[in-house]
Amino acid sequence: MQDTRSAKSSLQLETDTLINKHGMVAIITPFGGKLISLWVPDRNGKLGDVVLGYDSVQQYILGNPYFGAMIGRYGNRIAKGRFTLEGKEYQLATNNGVNALHGGPKGFHNVLWQNDESNSDTNRIVLNYLSKDGDENYPGELNVKVTYSLTDDNELVIDYEATTNATTVVNLTHHSFFNLAGAGNGDILDHELAIYADRFTPVDEGLIPTGELKPVIGTPFDFTKPTKIGAHINDADPQIKNGKGFDHNWALKKQANVFSLAATLKEPTSGRVMEVWTTEPGLQFYSGNFLDGSDIGKDGKRYQYRTAICLEAQHFPDSPNQPDFPSTILKPGEVYKQKTVYKFSTE
């Protein structure tokens, strides 16, 4: 694996810009496969950058490692960093208390992906990464390809593909922090969110799923109809307390591997609307509960408490230890594939 610091230092020279016919712009770096800017029109046609990020390489070195990042091998948490696969127990690095989070400290967010130079499409970038057998103590050599595309329908499309030479676990996702009013422009409590799911996975105090699939009806987790994020974010609910707000996985109401609408997010002032479409069975909704103003982002703006939302299409957290959850096991000869689309419009 490349030295993380040297990979980061080359960020300044390695970005790709995707532009569609409406002027929408996505800027991506091979460092961590990160989406560092996404310029989207509001209802008046004015472009605004709707993802959190930084202005300098040094800030990406020292700041939040997940802003706009590609996450793997395993998005979200694995309890105590342990799982058993084909009779063998694996101990991963723990980087979130006693748990493993987002592939560990040297996860896919912290490496230099290879830009496929044979790609000549100005609306697409193809990134490749070879994760060696034993990286972060995951078994098997994993060959990953991620394609970012920007369509003329104002869609940011992310296609994932991976193969392995030994049985392993895989849960890839994308970790942009969105504020549809513009990065650093106030909190997200007035954003309206709908999640097309009737169950979610409750968590313990360490944010590890209990194994239950709990109905959302009658709880603060009911986003079956568009609801302001701030409406129930401070409710006296044990799950809200555990997540310090929303930091949970919703079990989407969909058939396995079928590409369908997972969530809709609206911001009333700008009129921007973002739909999330995916083949994945779950969606992690995180309401920026750990942002605290210490991150100074683009144009010198501080990213304060709850000023962004993450909507991470994924398999469920801790699935390797939860036999009733959709499987994240990938075997030799199989091909991991998923597609997630962030589609923008206005109203």
Helices (H) and strands (E) in the chain, counts: 3, 26
Which residues, 6 or more positions from 234, have their beta carbon under 8 angstroms from its beta carbon? 240, 245
Q: Maximum CA pair distance of the chain?
A: 58
The single-letter DSSP state of residue 34 is: E
The alpha-helical segments, DSSP class H, found in the chain are: 4-9, 57-62, 238-243
The residue count for the chain: 347
Distance CA 320, CA 48 (A): 40
Half-sphere exposure of residue 276: CA atoms within 13 angstroms, side-chain side = 28
Assess contact for 201 and 248: CB atoms under 8 A: yes
Cis check: omega of the bond before 73, within 30 degrees of 0 = yes
Identity of residue 267: E
Could you give the count of Cα atoms lying within 13 Å of 272 in the half-sphere of its Cβ? Answer: 27
DSSP assignment of 296-342: B-GGG-B--TT--BEEEEESPTTGGG-TTSPP-EE-TT--EEEEEEE
For the chain, how big is the Rg over CA atoms in Å? 19
**Identity of residue 27:** I
- Which of 285, 263, 273, 287 lies closest to 188, judged by CA? 287
Q: How far apart are CA 302 and CA 185, in angstroms?
A: 9
> Distance (Å, rounded) from C-alpha 35 to C-alpha 333?
31
Residues 131 and 101: beta-carbon distance below 8 Å:
no
Token pair belonging to 122: 């100005």
Q: Are 338 and 312 in contact (CB under 8 A)?
A: no
Which residues are identified as catalytic?
A: 175, 312
